Chains A and B, each alone.
Chain A
């Protein structure tokens, strides 16, 4: 269970970073080649911050309120850097991988509710 929460927290941090990244004009163009509307940028940033919050909750579920936030900050840094380094080589793939976080964390949360 703890491993599930940790993995969810990490993947969600990555997914949130992808959303925040696409919420920036420069990076949205980098991935899709065109600009998006201001509304979409705002939506993406909103999703990003939401993802970061849920990621924090996962880390707290794994480690508690004392240690969880420390682990969360570490997870954010690593996720952001992985995205930054992947973006120039595999931009679409880097974005597509963001789906793993929500999927896994839903599965873990479901298992937690049922079990």
Chain B
């Protein structure tokens, strides 16, 4: 009975792992890159310079620009320069109909950064796979669910788990792949569970709308209001007491910023409602991640004329806090750069875990393949090709997006769209290439292309505008990944050499007998 249970689990683990592995790798790789989405955004807009300037000075420059150009707008939005994104953006109206302008935080002059898909592309791809949003979110949610099942079944079939906790035997083919797959899965188990589970919780309401449907009769606005994140109503420009709004000057921002910073931590931006009138309101928002709870939508509101505090931050209710903390754990917005790097490294190791599982599937079957019927051999070939495309091909496409960002003409129409198209062209090319060449050769050439693109990224950066430390760090990280890819290529070379000498030996032996 026990034997059959383990066998059933092994079967589930193998086939579920293979089917979701291809897409799951894409989810994990783009998710890992999305840890640094703002940094990638910044790298992809080299026209924006990072300058040491206080948020207060930057806000003053933004306000004077808005006062000169959009004095009659109903609301002004200002995104202040922060540690992660050094740009200064001003906007009017809402996200769809309003205008957005990028300013130089040091001088207040208008700059025109290139249109780009940016690091946000990786972020969106991570949870939608670039499919229509609802469908994509459901698909990725399904992947996360099956991933949890493969983790559990993986633990069950890996019985010697504790005895061989630190075991890795390199250079032994299938054995090494299995060791690495086990070690990376077992040691990273808390991270895998956390990331898959919290990922599901983020879209809780979409996956399980029953509770909200029955409690609020499907009225999502009523739910949002009860949950405390209802959209705030703009006060009408009549001073609130039926009197017409009078022209008025904005209060001194320094004490407002100081109070908000003391209460909420580093700030990310502010909104001015009814600017230039006596009904003026100031909403100040913090950067995400002064606490684990994902603080999106959190802000403090001040009277724009007197600077008096009108609305303080309200602590979340327990159920909502749980959901927000879980989302926060997933988004890694807390804990600053050390934690961001930790998530990045853990994410890369998760990618390696998935990739080693996929490779293991094929390595295990390669040796006995010659005796198998033709249709089995064909399906095996399909798995090999999809492995190459989903692992090496996606890596090429991801770093290729950065190359597309610098190589496409700056003034191109629909530039962001063309960048994304190039991403998919590269990915498709990888599929074609992998299906035309022998397996190991295709692996080798594609990994080598990804490595070269990573290693030469600093050179590409050098020829463009906008050099600063943040961009240099990104390029150095790319070089690091390129070096890791070179290690992988060396292992393939050794494998090819071994296979070559084995074939020669077999021939010699055959000739002798």
Contact = CB atoms under 8 A, between A and B. Distances in A.
Given A71-B342, A81-B187, A81-B188, A63 B335 contact: yes
A84 B167 contact: yes
A24 B335 CA distance: 34
Nearest to B353: A81
Contacts of B194: 70, 73
Contacts of B135: none
B166 interface: yes
Contact of B164 (A17, A26, A77, A83): A26
Contact of A74 (B170, B183, B334, B346): B346
A80 B189 CA distance: 11
A77 B335 contact: no
A70 B329 contact: yes
Contacts of A74: 191, 339, 342-343, 345-346
B292 A66 contact: yes
Contact of A27 (B166, B169, B189, B334): B166
Given A67-B334, A77-B191, A81-B187, A89 B170 contact: yes
B292 A81 contact: no
A26 B161 CA distance: 13
A60 interface: no
B291 A78 contact: no
B342 A26 contact: no
A88 interface: yes
B159 interface: no
Contacts of A38: none
Interface residues of A, number: 28
A67 B335 contact: yes
B165 interface: yes
A6 B169 CA distance: 31
Contacts of A35: none
Given A66-B292, A67-B334, A78 B349 contact: yes
Nearest to A22: B166
A73 B420 CA distance: 36
Contacts of B346: 74, 77-78
Q: Which of A6, A24, A77, A89 has its CB near the most chain B CB atoms (within 10 A)?
A: A77
B188 A77 contact: yes
Interface in B312-357: 329, 334-335, 338-339, 342-343, 345-346, 349
A84 B343 contact: no
Contacts of A88: 168-170
A58 to B, nearest CB: 12
A85 B190 CA distance: 19
Given A74-B191, A78-B349, A87 B335 contact: no
Interface residues of B, number: 28
B292 A85 contact: no
A84 B168 contact: yes
A75 interface: yes
A17 B166 CA distance: 9
Interface string B134-170: 0000000000000000000000000000011111111
B55 interface: no
A37 B329 CA distance: 43
A108 interface: no
A21 interface: yes
Contacts of B339: 63, 67, 70-71, 74
B184 interface: yes
Given A66-B292, A70-B329, A73-B191, A6 B338 contact: yes
Interface in A62-115: 62-63, 66-67, 70-71, 73-78, 80-81, 83-85, 87-89
Given A66-B291, A66-B292, A84-B187, A75 B168 contact: no
B335 A71 contact: yes
Contact of B187 (A26, A62, A71, A80): A80
Interface string B187-211: 1111100100000000000000000
A21 B170 CA distance: 18
Given A70-B329, A74-B343, A83 B335 contact: no
Contact of A24 (B165, B170, B183, B191): B165
Nearest to B190: A73
B499 to A, nearest CB: 22
A105 to B, nearest CB: 16
Interface string B390-425: 000000000000000000000000000000000000
Given A73-B194, A74-B343, A87-B166, 9 more contacts: A6-B338, A21-B165, A24-B165, A63-B335, A71-B339, A73-B190, A74-B346, A77-B191, A81-B188
Interface of A: 3, 6, 17, 20-21, 24, 26-27, 62-63, 66-67, 70-71, 73-78, 80-81, 83-85, 87-89
